[in-house]
Structure 1
Amino acid sequence: MATAIPSLNDGRVTIRAIRLKDARVLERELLDNRGWLRKWEATNPYGALSFDVRASIRSLQSNARAGFGLPFAIEYDGDFAGQLNVSGITYGSLSSASIGYWVSERFAGLGLTPTAVALASDYCFFQVGMHRIEICIRPENAPSLRVVEKLGFRYEGLRRRYIHINGDWRDHFCFALTAEELPFGALRRWHEGRVPVGAGTVPQADRDAALLPGTHPR
Structure 2
Amino acid sequence: MSRSWPVTLESGRVGVRPLRRRDATAWARLRADSAAWLTPWEATLPPEGGRPATSYVAMASIMLRRARRGDAMPFVVTWDGRMVGQVTVNGITWGSARSASIGYWIGRGHAGQGIIPTAVALVCDHLFLTAGIHRIDIAVRPENDPSLAVVRKLGFDDVGLARRYLHIDGRWCDHRLFQLVREDVGTTVLARLTD
Which structure has more RCO (C-alpha within 8 Å, separation ≥ 6)?
A: 2
Amino acid at match of 1:12: R
Say which of 68, 81, 104 aligns to 1:78: 81
Q: Which runs of 5+ in 2 are unaligned?
A: none
Match of 2:61 in 1: 58
Say which of 144, 149, 155 aligns to 1:146: 149
CA distance in 1, matches of 2:186, 2:69: 29
Say which SS state the counterpart of residue 47 (structure 2) adopts. coil
Match of 1:26 in 2: 27
CA distance in 2, matches of 1:162, 1:46: 16
Match of 1:210 in 2: none
TM-score with structure 2 setting the length: 0.95
Amino acid at match of 1:19: R
- Contact 2:19–2:76 (CA under 8 A) maintained in structure 1: yes
Match of 1:39 in 2: 40
Q: CA-to-partner distance for each residue in 1:154-176, whole Å, 9 max, x for gaps? A: 11000000000001000000000
Q: CA-to-partner distance for each residue in 1:115-162, whole Å, 9 max, x for gaps? A: 001000000000000000000000110000000111110110000000
RMSD: 1.3
The alpha carbon displacement at 1:50 in A equals 5.4
Match of 1:117 in 2: 120
CA distance in 2, matches of 1:179, 1:5: 22
The alpha carbon displacement at 1:20 in A equals 0.7
The alpha carbon displacement at 1:92 in A equals 1.3
Larger radius of gyration: 1
- Contact 2:153–2:192 (CA under 8 A) maintained in structure 1: no
Match of 1:209 in 2: none
The alpha carbon displacement at 1:79 in A equals 1.2
Matches within 5 A, 1:1-218: 2=2, 3-46=4-47, 49=52, 51-191=54-194, 193=195
CA distance in 2, matches of 1:190, 1:30: 27
CA distance in 1, matches of 2:193, 2:26: 31
The alpha carbon displacement at 1:190 in A equals 2.4
Question: How many residues of Structure 1 are paired with residues of Structure 2 in the alignment?
Answer: 192
- Contact 2:86–2:106 (CA under 8 A) maintained in structure 1: yes
Percent of aligned positions that are identical: 45
